Amino acid sequence: MPAPIAIKYGGPMAHCRFCHYAWSVHHDPVSCWQRIRTEEGLIARIHEVAPLLVSARAVLDVVVGGL
Quick: pLDDT tens for 21-49.
777 877 677 777 777 788 888 888 888 99
pLDDT at 1 > cutoff 60: no
DSSP state, 39? H
Q: Residue 46: its pLDDT value, please?
A: 87
Q: Which amino acid is at 51?
A: P
User: For 4-23, what is the mean pLDDT?
Assistant: 78
User: For 53-60, what is the mean pLDDT?
Assistant: 90
CA–CA distance, 24 with 4 (Å, rounded to integer) = 12
CA–CA distance, 14 with 4 (Å, rounded to integer) = 6
CA–CA distance, 19 with 8 (Å, rounded to integer) = 18
pTM of the model: 0.40
